[in-house]
Each structure stands twice: as C-alpha cells, then as structure tokens.
Amino acid sequence: MDHPCNHPPESMLIRLIIDIENGRILDASEDAALFYGWPLATLRQMHICNINTLPPEQVRVEMDKAAAAECNRFEFVHRTADGSEKKVEVFSSKIMFAGKEVLSSIVHDITERTQIESALRRSEARFRELLENTQEAVYKRNLQKNFFEYVSPAFSRFSGYPQDVILGWSAEDVINLVHPDDREQVRNIKISALPLSKDCGQQIEYRFRHALGHYIHLLDRFSFTCDSTGSPRARIGSVSDISARKKVEQTILEEHNRLENIVEATHIGTWEWNIQTGDLVLNRQWAGMLGYTLAELAPISVLTWRRLIHPDDEQYVVALLEKHILGQLPTYENEYRLRHKHGHWIWVYSSGRIIRRRYDGEPLIMYGLHIDITDRIRMEESLQRANAHLEQVVQARTLELVQANAALQQEMEARRKIERSLQENKERYRRITEGLSDCIYTVHLQAGKAVALSHSETCTQATGYTPEEYAADPELWIRLTVAEDRFLIIDNFKRLLETNQPATAEYRIQRKNGQIIWVSDTIIPQFDSAGELVAFDGVIIEITARKKAEQQLSHSRATLTMAIDGMPDPLILFDRNLRVLRLNKAAKKYYGIKSFEEALGKRCFEAFKGRNTSCESCEYPFSTMHGYSGMFERQGGMDPTRLERIVVDEVKDTQGLPEAYIFRIFDITEERKIDRQLIQSEKLASLGLLIAGIAHEINNPNNFIFFNTPILRSYLQFLLPIVDEYAATRPNMQVFHRPYRDFRQDCLTLLDNIEHGSRRINQIVGNLREFVRERGPGEKRLIDVKRVVEKAVTICQGRIKKTVKRFTMELRDDLPAVYSDPLALEQIVVNLLINAVQATDKEDSWISLDLSLSEKHRDELVISVRDNGCGMDHATRHKIFDPFFTTKAAGDGTGLGLSICQRLVTELGGRIEVTSEIGRGSVFQVFLKTPQQNNDDRDL
C-alpha cells in the first residue's frame, strides 16, 4: 500500500493559511500534513518557499497577484517531505485570520492528470507520425457529401498530386483519373447492405493516372460504413502503389512464356513429379510423343506413366529412379519404351533430377525431360543386324571360297550398300545435330590430355568463336570460362573419370563480345575396345534465363518470408486438404506452439487443438471449404471473449483449381467497441442538438400563451359582470345554442385548460433542458444522504399523499457520508418517487423508501424505492431509460425522468438496478460508493 500523500483521495481538503507579508505558513489542515508528509506542527512553522519549488522572488510575485485578486488559480510544483515533487493546482484568496488579512490556499494534486495528458499527447503524435509516414495511403471519403474527409500524405508521394487538390476531388474527378479500361469495374463497386457490424471489406486493382501523365497500378482495400437506416455514409480504406510488383509479375510471365516457346520449338517433353502426392505435370509435347492430348491422359499421376512403360523395361526403370531418389545417383537418366496411343512402342530418352527437398531431406519435387529417340534406336538396331549379317556372310564365304568369286562380288556390293547406309546415317545424325539449338562438341584425348576439339556450328553462335579458333586452341573453352567457375569443369571431369558415367556441371562463360552467360555442360565418355577413355562428347545448353529466374524466385521467396513473419496478425497457409504448409511468428504466438514443426503437415484441428476430428464449432467444416474465398467474423478461436475477422484467400494452380488457402486472423474486438461507442456518442450528440432546438422553438410560442393568458383572464373578469347583468334580464338567454350559465362556466374552464397546457409545456421544456444540460465538475462534496433524501421526500410529499394510500420510509442514522452532488442526488430521489406514484393502480397502493448499506458490498450505500403498482414486462424494462419512452397516458409524463436519473447516477459514479413484475410492482435501487471504496481504489 502506497503512502497516502502519493495518492490523496478526492475528498481530502488540503488547505494552507499563508502570511501575505512574509510567506510563513500560519495554519494547515490535517489533510495537508498527510499530503506533504510533515507533522502538522512542523508544517505550521514552515515557509511557503520550503514547499514551492519556484525561486523566492517568483513566489513573492505570485503571492502579490493572489493578494491583489489579479489571479486566484495557479499551477505549481510542490516538494513533499520525502523529496518527491507533485504537480498541484492552487486556488488562493484573501480572508481574515486572527485579525489580519492572510491568503487561504486550497491545493489539488494534478500530477496524475498531467502525466495522463502528456501521455495522450505523445500517443497522438506517434499515431499521426505513423499515419503520415506509412507507405500505404489511408483515406476516408464522405459518400453523402461527396468529398474526402482525410487523405494521408502517402497518396501525394506516389501519385504526384498535392494533398489540398486531392481533398477537393469529387467522385467523378477520381473516376476520370482511372485508366479508361478500368473505369467500369471501379464504377461498379458494390456497397454492402449488411449492418455495420457485419460489413465485409473489399479490394480492387486499377490503373491511375499520375500527375506527370503516366499510369501507376494501385491496390485499393476499403470498406463502407452505414448510418442507422443502412444507407452508405463513408468509405474508409488504404491505397498501395503496386506498380513495381506488376512489372515483376509481367517479367516473370514473359520469361515463363519464353521458356515454354523454347521447349515447344525443340519438341522436348517435360515432366514434373510431386513425389509426396504422386501428381504428375506433363507438357503438351510429352503427351504428343505418344499420340495423346493432355485431356486424354487426365487425371495424370505417376501411375499414368507406369501404365505406359513396356513390361520388360518397368522394373529396371523404377529401380534406376529409386537409386536417384535415395541419393545413390546424382541424376536420373534412362532409355526405355513407352506404348503409343496406336499400340506400337516408341523409345524415349528420359533424364531428370530432384529439385526440391523437405527440411529433413525427404524428396518433394522431381523435374525432367523426354526426347523421342525411336529413329536413333532403329538405326542402331539396323546397324547391329547389318553387322551380324555381315559376319555370317564372311564366315560362309570363307568356307565356300572356291565358289566365292561371283558371290564375293555380291557380298562386296552389299557391303558397299551398308557403308553407304552408314554414311547416310552419319550424315543424317550430323544434320540432326546441326538442327539443334544446343552446342555439341567432342574432345579427343591422348594420354589424358586434349589433343583435338570439334564443335557444332551452334557453338560459334553461342560463344562467338569460330571453329578455326577452337581447332587452334584445344583449351580455349577452359579459358573462356569465368575464372571463379573453372574448378566446376575440372570437378565435372573428375566425376566422369571416377564413375565412367555422364556428368553435368553449370557454370558461366564469357562470350567473345564480353557478355557473361550461364551454361549447363553434360559430358559423355567414349572408350576404345581396351576400355581406355579416348574422347568425350559434350552437350551445352544456355541456361542464363533460368538462372535469372531462379535468383529472382529466391529473392522473392526471401522477401515474402520477411514480409509474412513481419506481419503483426496471425497468417497460416494450408494446402487444398487443409494441412498446414506454413505459418508466421504471429500465428505461432497466437496458438501458443513452441516450434513451427509442431504444426507443419497437420490439419488445423490436429496442429492447434490436439483433436482427431474437426471442431464442432467450426464455421466452415473441411468438407465445404474447397473453392471458398472470402471473409467472415467469429468469436476468438483461442479467447472466446474476443471478436475476430477471418480473411480466406484462395490460391489457384495453372488450371484454375484450388491449390492452397491463406488464412489471416484480425482481432477486431476494440474496433467493434470503438464503433459502438462512436455510434452511441453520435446518437446522443445529435439527440442533444435536436432537444436543445426543440426546447427553444417550443418555448418561444408558449411564452405568448403563458404571458397573455392572465391578461385574457382579467379581460373576462371585467366583461363577465356586464354580461351577467345583461343575462339576468333574459332568463332564457342562450349562447351558441347553450344556456348562458353553461357557456359562462365553459369559458372559465377553457381558460383554465389553456393555463394548465402552458404550464405542462413549460414542464416538458424544463425536463428537456435538464436532459441535455452539462453538469460541470466541482459540485461534489461529502454529504449526509439521509438529509438529502428527507428533503426530496418533502418536495413531493403532497403528490404522494394525494395518490398513495400508504407511504413508509426507513432511513438508517449510522450510514457513512458520501462524496456526491446533493442537488443531483435530490433530483434522482424525486424522479423515482414521482415515477412510483404514477405507477399506482390499486386501492391499497403503497410506496416504501429505504436507505441502507448493500448486503453484498458493505462499501456501497443503497437507496431503494418500492411500489406495488402495475409493474413492467421484460421488453418494457429494457426501454425505460431510453429518452422519451413512456407507458403513461398523454399528459402524464414526458419520458425523460428515468433517462435523467440514469445519467445523473452514472455521473455520480454509481449504478441503478431495476426489478419488476407485471401486476405486483417494481423496485428501483441506486448504488453509491462510500469514500472508503474510493480510497481503496486509488491506493490500489
């Protein structure tokens, strides 16, 4: 518990009596001793300069101002006994004390208030600085008045228009700056008709004309607010410049199309295998080799491919593939047969490698290509059959040499035909090689050293060096390789020697014109009959574009990772089976998991709830999530007391099918509270303005009635004796077909009714003014609640005796004083008593008034008003505090009494509770905190 001087209660009276001449403290209250921490006797012997931190001469100046009544309110810094300093508000005035004029100073501690005000100013400054310097432009547009209420400076920065110009734009001005092709979709933005609490945000991308004339791409995220009738009132949103992102997307798309065109031109089939799911993605050329279209092969999986393999090749192909998956082979390469759509078999050369693995090394994605080598295989088989046949012929002719002359000529001719066929095949192979865009070369070795080098013409096109230059310098290729990458060629050659298998390396070379490009170099060994390496063939493919795309993709992934982890709101990425693929740090903290690995690969109810089945309260069960994209609100997933907005974005694959879902969770609890408070404040403000205007407009014409009615009565009193005398001579006199006596009485009755109606209007106007009147601070003090209640009873005693048969009152004498406003408390009791009187509807009606301490909370004082009147149902009980709501007959009430009571009780820091039952009466209880409760709250 803190020292009392650190947190003085509001009820403390800190008073100092100061000698005007010398500044000595002549007297002080006990509360002053508690506040400053000095004993009372010590404080009464001190000088004001011992407390006030101002220089003595400045203290003298301020005292003179107070003595001359130039100023009676001051703000100082006072020093306490423990050396701490307090910001105080001092009210000083001259009084007579012990026969001389002195200064009486009342001190209020405003340290905490000053600190709160300073913190609020700093908070507002930080919020404005954040809003003014964010990269996204924030705006609010008034739809009813067609103008911008606010636009942050970011919009001026990326659009080029001054902020004062932007604020003056109408809706049509904004539409005219949108690109003509995008205007229709901007015009057709639909305003949600849902209530404000359920309204969903929207977003749109469009091109916007910059102040310099060019167009920029904007991403506009916004939502609408509506008034109580559902009409759109304002559009609130943020605008981001996504021009750079659009350029990157266009570049990636162009590179993708370029690679597709290259693959299509070379008639190479490509395949991409998801090892985990078995899904297989093929291009059109792959299917075309077998006479199919992709649609005819759908659905495509690894089983589709295996069903097409020749039965004799399947076991070998699968075994070779598994070796690569297990890491026993660096790449997968194979030649085997596939069944054509028309039933025959074609030979393919298939190669590939794993391009993506999971964090634990588990393979995920494998990519490769297919080349139709049926013609080459057939040529080789033809050559083999020809060679076998030749051997048979030679053996046969050797045994039949005596008869061989004629047959020998025939065999020699057949041999020449075979040689011509071989030459033709060689020439055909050369033409096929020259037709390829890949660079093909052969290095001839002798004693392990390069002695000759031959290249295809595409090597000249790729590097800029002529065949003569390659022939003159066998090591030219090594020297045109970038120095940092030459070891890759050497390592690749070593792998060739170690494994006697083809090897591939990727490195950079410098063309003759100085340009640096990336290439993929695959070398294939050639051995002589003794098994010695005599040469190796190479195939070089330029992969510069692919490398750039990989670097760009890597950079994009790193940027995306930082952006996702930097988001303050939880974000989770699910696959189409709703298994967790990724989540950011905010999501990890939100679900209270220790590591990302706990959730990856699991469904949400497994990862975050530890369940085996989906949650019963899930708004969107797993069976209905496919294809969903949108936004909804729910109770907090981890804290039911919170309110959350869930945004679901669907990620589609190249075929437009859902591939993944992005879940974002926003806590909108405070946002909804602020919205409700803002609406209530606006309603009350509008109601106050309306009431003030109505009271003024009603009061003016009623004054004519109220002040002229007495004059009219005096006129009648003057005229009636004259008419009475005239009517006395005519006993049967009638006025408006009525006897004169009835007419005379009716005139007086009408005049009474006019006066009663005017007084009633004055009462209603007074209640209206009381309802909207602002009660200023400084009216509260310690009061005896019993005396205030007794005074209120005296005010309405006549009304109670006239209507109620029995009125009882029980007011305890031992109740503590309450720090409150006596006038407000008096009005509360009067209103409750009058309300009870108006509810009486029985012959044995009764009202009781009790003043006691609360049974549940001994630090609360309770004022109870009970009656046995008509009572209220549930619906009426929930409306009785609404302004102008009343169940009384016309003329018996304005509907403002209980509304004023509730407002006054709230201002006094208390609460009002009501219980009621139809036909049995009602109980109104007002709870007020005692000073002890207030002190405890402040100390804590």
pLDDT for 885 equals 66
HSE-CB for 860 with a 13 A CA cutoff:
16
Using DSSP's 3-state secondary structure scheme, residue 495 falls into helix
Calpha distance 45→42 (Å, rounded): 5
pLDDT band, residue 194 (cuts 50/70/90): very low
Q: Which of 229-243, 421-435, 560-574 has the lowest mean pLDDT?
A: 421-435
pLDDT tens-digit series, residues 524-564: 888 877 778 888 888 888 888 888 877 777 776 666 667 67
pLDDT band, residue 773 (cuts 50/70/90): low
Helix extents (H) in 775-895: 785-795, 797-803, 822-838, 874-877
pLDDT for 933 equals 43
Instruction: Please indicate whether residue 23 or residue 190 has the higher confidence score (pLDDT).
Output: 23
pLDDT for 934 equals 43
415-434 mean pLDDT: 62
Which whole-number Å values give the CA distances from 98 to 26, 43, 102, 372, 689, in the listed order? 10, 18, 9, 121, 52
Length of the chain: 940
Using DSSP's 3-state secondary structure scheme, residue 438 falls into coil
pLDDT for 438 equals 67
Q: Which amino acid belongs to residue 670?
A: E
Contact 866, 887 (CB under 8 A): no
pLDDT band, residue 193 (cuts 50/70/90): very low
pLDDT for 807 equals 92
pLDDT tens-digit series, residues 929-938: 887 544 443 3
Q: What is the DSSP string of 283-308?
A: -HHHHHHTT--HHHHPSPBHHHHHHH
Contact 583, 664 (CB under 8 A): no
465-488 mean pLDDT: 81
Calpha distance 861→844 (Å, rounded): 30
Q: Which positions ≥6 away from 586 have C-beta within 8 Å?
A: 567, 568, 569, 570, 571
Contact 844, 867 (CB under 8 A): no
pLDDT for 858 equals 72
Beta bridge partners of 208: 178, 216
Q: Which of 271-280, 286-295, 514-523, 620-629 has the lowest mean pLDDT?
A: 620-629
Q: Which amino acid belongs to residue 921?
A: G
Instruction: Please indicate whether residue 245 or residue 567 has the higher confidence score (pLDDT).
Output: 245
Beta bridge partners of 792: none
CA dihedral 702, 703, 708, 710 (to 10 degrees): 100
Print burial letters for 10-28: b (CB count within 10 Å at least 16), e (below 16).
eebebebbbbeeebbbebb
Instruction: Please indicate whether residue 209 or residue 565 has the higher confidence score (pLDDT).
Output: 209
C-alpha 682: how far from chain center = 25
Calpha distance 450→421 (Å, rounded): 31
Per DSSP, 465 falls in state: -
pLDDT band, residue 940 (cuts 50/70/90): very low
The sign of the torsion formed by the CA atoms of 132, 136, 137, 143 equals negative
pLDDT band, residue 760 (cuts 50/70/90): low
Calpha distance 268→577 (Å, rounded): 33
pLDDT for 150 equals 87
Contact 88, 78 (CB under 8 A): yes
2-28 mean pLDDT: 75
**Lookup: tokens for 422:** 């071989």
Phi, psi of 62 (to 5 degrees): -65, -35
Print burial letters for 845-882: b (CB count within 10 Å at least 16), e (below 16).
bbbbbbbeeeeeeebbbbbbbbbbbbbbeeeeeeebee
Q: Which DSSP helix (H) or strand (E) runs through 314? A: helix 311-325
Q: Which positions ≥6 away from 47 have C-beta within 8 Å?
A: 22, 23, 24, 25
Instruction: Please indicate whether residue 901 or residue 555 has the higher confidence score (pLDDT).
Output: 901
pLDDT tops 70 at residue 219: yes
pLDDT tops 70 at residue 914: yes
Print burial letters for 679-696: b (CB count within 10 Å at least 16), e (below 16).
eeeeeeeeebeebeeebe
This model's pTM is above 0.85: no
Q: What is the DSSP string of 735-753?
A: ETTEEHHHHHHHHHHHHHH
pLDDT band, residue 411 (cuts 50/70/90): low
- Give the residue among 181, 174, 178, 179 at the shortest CA–CA distance from 143: 174
Q: Which of 216-220, 449-453, 638-642 has the lowest mean pLDDT?
A: 449-453
pLDDT > 70: percent of the chain: 83
Calpha distance 52→60 (Å, rounded): 11
pLDDT tops 70 at residue 911: yes
86-99 mean pLDDT: 90
User: What angle separates helix 740-772 from helix 897-907, to the nearest 10 degrees?
Assistant: 20
Helix, strand, coil percent values for the chain (each to nearest 5): 45, 30, 25
pLDDT band, residue 198 (cuts 50/70/90): very low
pLDDT band, residue 92 (cuts 50/70/90): very high
Beta bridge partners of 370: 269, 350
pLDDT tens-digit series, residues 677-716: 655 555 655 566 566 666 667 777 877 787 788 888 888 8
pLDDT tens-digit series, residues 347-368: 999 999 998 888 788 899 998 9
Backbone dihedral region for residue 67 (phi beyond 0: left; psi -120 to 50: alpha; all else: beta): alpha
147-151 mean pLDDT: 88
pLDDT tops 50 at residue 719: yes
- Give the residue among 790, 777, 766 at the shortest CA–CA distance from 702: 766
pLDDT tops 70 at residue 426: no
Contact 614, 621 (CB under 8 A): yes
C-alpha 678: how far from chain center = 20
Q: What angle do CA 813, 816, 818 make, to 5 degrees?
A: 120
pLDDT tops 90 at residue 775: no
pLDDT tops 50 at residue 197: no
pLDDT band, residue 620 (cuts 50/70/90): low
pLDDT tops 50 at residue 117: yes
pLDDT tens-digit series, residues 291-335: 999 899 888 998 999 999 999 999 999 999 999 988 899 999 999
pLDDT, mean over the chain: 81
pLDDT for 766 equals 67
Using DSSP's 3-state secondary structure scheme, residue 17 falls into strand
pLDDT tens-digit series, residues 847-892: 999 998 887 777 789 999 999 988 888 878 777 877 666 766 544 5
Locate tokens 């060739």: which residue? 496
pLDDT tops 60 at residue 1: no
Calpha distance 146→142 (Å, rounded): 6
Beta bridge partners of 454: 442
- What contacts 24+ positions apart, CB below 8 Å, involve 897-901? 897/767, 897/831, 897/834, 897/835, 898/831, 898/835, 899/771, 900/767, 900/770, 900/771, 900/827, 900/831, 901/827, 901/828, 901/831, 901/832
**Lookup: tokens for 268:** 């190479």
pLDDT tens-digit series, residues 166-187: 888 988 999 999 999 999 988 8
Instruction: Please indicate whether residue 731 or residue 623 has the higher confidence score (pLDDT).
Output: 731
